[in-house]
């Protein structure tokens, strides 16, 4: 099987994945049946601090970008810049595509249809993350955290890395709820994402554009016998 190594092809896969990720996340917010964990935490944080969702996603992304540098154990200028390059379009695409989904009336659909639409959005997010992690040109810092954990510490396990990377957003959700008494964009879809997104990403690695292979660029941590 021929590996896709051409930069231009990886670039267009990246563009597609950013649009897919933004649209999928916005769709899960519009259904109000539960977003992916990171997105749900951003919605609740925005509600708590009374800042627009796009700006909240952007600020959140900067904070996680710094965390990624700490997880790497050294300053990686290319990775730092790439994280920032991703969150600028993504953060505001989610907000503005969300306006489109609201305009077409996603929130007014019958519950059963909204549930299906919510699932489609979550599947789109997982597939999009798989695509741009394999491109590895630029990545959202939230997913880059999972990527660093996956290949530096967790022997390539998408599932365990995804669960570990959820600790920060789950903390934000709990603190936001305690501060406001409200939970937004959290529901059955969030539970599905929490349980299954890592597995769907692993499946997508093999079945969604399977010729697109991982371009791993993080050193694995040394492991010593206990």
Q: Cβ(142)–Cβ(61) under 8 Å?
A: yes
| Res 216: pLDDT | 74
For residue 3, pLDDT beyond 80: no
- pTM here is 0.86
Cβ proximity of 173 and 44 under 8 Å: yes
Q: What stretches of the chain show up as alpha helix (H) in DSSP? A: 7-31, 37-49, 53-72, 77-103, 111-135, 141-148, 158-165, 167-180, 188-207
Q: Mean pLDDT, to the nearest integer, of 33-37?
A: 92
Confidence of residue 156 (pLDDT cuts 50, 70, 90): confident
Q: Nearest to residue 80, comparing CAs of 125, 144, 11?
A: 144
Choice among 83-87, 147-151, 181-185, 216-220 with the minimum mean pLDDT: 216-220
Burial of 72 (0-12, 13-18, 19+ CB in 10 A): middle
pLDDT class of 155 with cuts at 50, 70, 90: confident
For residue 51, being part of any structural domain is answered with yes
Residues spanned by the domain of 148: 7-207
Is 218 part of a structural domain of the chain?
no
CB 42 within 8 A of CB 57: yes
Q: Per-residue pLDDT for 143 more than 80?
A: no
Whether residue 224 has pLDDT greater than 60: no
Q: Assess if residue 157 is contained within a domain.
A: yes
pLDDT surpassing 70 at residue 31:
yes
Is position 220 within any domain?
no
Residue 52 pLDDT exceeds 90: yes
Q: What tens digit of pLDDT does each residue of 184-218 get?
A: 999 999 999 888 888 898 899 999 999 888 777 66
The mean of the pLDDT values for the chain is 89
For position 66, what pLDDT does the model report? 96
pLDDT at 223 over 70: no
Whole-angstrom distance, CA of residue 39 vs CA of residue 190: 9
Looking at residue 6, what is its pLDDT? 80
Q: What is the DSSP string of 10-46?
A: HHHHHHHHHHHHHHHHHHHHHHTS---HHHHHHHHHH
Q: Round to whole Å and give the CA distance between 155 and 206.
A: 17
Evaluate whether residue 214 is within a structural domain. no
Least reliable range by pLDDT among 68-72, 104-108, 199-203, 213-217: 213-217
223 part of a folded domain = no
Count of structural domains, the chain = 1
pLDDT at residue 122, as a whole number: 95
- Which pair of tokens denotes residue 102? 């609201």
Phi, psi of 220 (to 5 degrees): -80, 140
Does residue 215 lie within any of the structural domains? no
pLDDT at 221: 58
Using CB atoms within 10 Å of the CB of residue 66, give its burial: 0 to 12 exposed, 13 to 18 middle, 19+ buried: exposed
User: Could you tell me if residue 104 is inside a domain?
Assistant: yes
């Amino acid at each position: 099987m021929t590996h896709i190594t051409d930069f231009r092809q990886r670039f267009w896969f990246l563009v597609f994945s950013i649009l897919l990720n933004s649209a999928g996340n916005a769709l899960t917010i519009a259904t109000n049946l539960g977003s992916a964990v990171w997105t749900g935490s951003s919605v609740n944080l925005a509600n708590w601090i009374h800042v627009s969702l796009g700006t909240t996603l952007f600020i959140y992304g900067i904070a996680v970008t710094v965390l990624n540098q700490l997880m790497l154990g050294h300053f990686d200028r290319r990775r730092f810049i790439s994280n920032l390059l991703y969150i600028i379009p993504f953060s505001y695409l989610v907000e503005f595509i969300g306006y489109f989904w609201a305009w077409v009336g996603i929130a007014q659909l019958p519950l059963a249809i909204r549930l299906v639409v919510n699932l489609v959005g979550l599947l789109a997010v997982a597939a999009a993350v798989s695509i741009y992690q394999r491109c590895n040109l630029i990545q959202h810092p939230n997913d880059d955290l999972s990527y660093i954990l996956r290949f530096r510490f967790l022997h390539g396990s998408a599932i365990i890395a995804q669960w570990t990377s959820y600790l920060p957003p789950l903390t934000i959700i709990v603190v936001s709820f305690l501060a406001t008494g409200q939970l937004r964009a959290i529901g059955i879809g969030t539970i599905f994402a929490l349980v299954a997104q890592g597995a769907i990403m692993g499946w997508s690695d093999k079945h969604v554009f399977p010729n697109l292979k991982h371009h791993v660029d993080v050193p694995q941590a040394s492991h010593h016998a206990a």
